Amino acid sequence: MAQSYQITLVEIGASAGAEVVVLSLLVWALTRRSAPDIAGRAPAAPTARRETIGVLAYGLAAQLLGAAIGIALGWHPISFHLAGTLIGGHEPIGIPETLGWCAYNLTVYAVAPYLWFRRRYDRTALCLRSSDRRRDLLVIGVVLVFSAVSQLVGLSAAILALDPRQLTLGIPLTFTLYLLGTGLPTLVFVQAILVPRFARLTGTSGAVLLGGLTYAALHLGDAWARFETVGQAVTSIGLVLLVYTFPGMFKAFLTVRTGNAWVHLWAYHAIAPHTLIDTAWIVRVFRI
């Protein structure tokens, strides 16, 4: 793993950790009188335990299959983030790889699990229906504004250097790709299915922690991670945990505090960081 990547990723992880602390305090203040009991929406403990183990095993198999498919096609391993996400990159990445990554993640982590669980659970049980739209919109607005400013200042303001044509074409394209390729997969697989079950089995604090660790684990196949040697594997795992655990915990915290898995998507995923930070990368990939 190149040293430059390590420095960049450590900086991203440190910035995310500080940002999450402030945002968590804001969200707690906004929801202190209205946080729902999402554990009560999950099935009884034996069923929740069985379903959780099954979903985690499915996720592991999906990660391994995605890596195998990506390598077989001459791409990067298919993981939760497209190669070059957040950190950019110098290796060539083609449009077919980008579309393939998006289609695989949408199908495997969003569509298939949703259809499976929707047969038995309604939208409220899956945290896909708001119980307080006014509160949820307030949380989304506050978190989105704060995180957008923080990320543009602390991570990258490359989007501000794009010309009008690049912005006009690049912003909706980036929003759509990352919504389908990582936003909805996180919404369904982690927030709607696993977080309520984690809450049933371990309590809300455990759900936040396990939600963060699960989110991080889904990025172990990201293109910058290396596993050729023990040293590379240890470094890669450590960086994955550093970069993704705190944002993943905050996403779970948003679901726990609002009971609405959609809140994390609009407040802290689809727009900030991905559309803000990754539009410049997608413009390069699609040669706009």
Encode pLDDT of 126-146 as tens digits: 999 999 999 999 999 999 999
pLDDT by residue (tens digit) across 214-239?
A: 999 999 999 888 888 988 888 889 88
pLDDT of residue 90: 61
Among the listed residues 102, 107, 118, the one whose alpha carbon sits nearest the alpha carbon of residue 179: 102
pLDDT of residue 4: 39
- Distance CA(58)–CA(3), nearest Å, equals 33
pLDDT of residue 8: 63
Residue stretches of the chain with pLDDT short of 50: 1-7
Q: Residues in the chain, how many?
A: 288
Please provide the average confidence, as pLDDT, over all residues in the chain: 92
pLDDT by residue (tens digit) across 99-119?
A: 999 999 999 999 999 999 999
Task: Say how many Å lie between the first and final Cα of the chain, rounded.
Answer: 29
pLDDT of residue 2: 39
Both tokens of residue 143? 């978190």
Both tokens of residue 190? 């982690």
pLDDT of residue 13: 58
pLDDT of residue 282: 95
**Between the CA of residue 279 and those of 6, 19, 100, what are the distances in Å?**
22, 21, 18
- Distance CA(12)–CA(28), nearest Å, equals 24
pLDDT of residue 210: 98
- Distance CA(280)–CA(171), nearest Å, equals 9
pLDDT of residue 228: 86
pLDDT of residue 151: 83
pLDDT of residue 9: 61
- Distance CA(68)–CA(8), nearest Å, equals 27
Ramachandran region, residue 272 (left: φ > 0; alpha: ψ -120 to 50; beta: rest):
beta
Handedness of CA 206, 209, 211, 214 (dihedral sign): negative
pLDDT of residue 91: 72
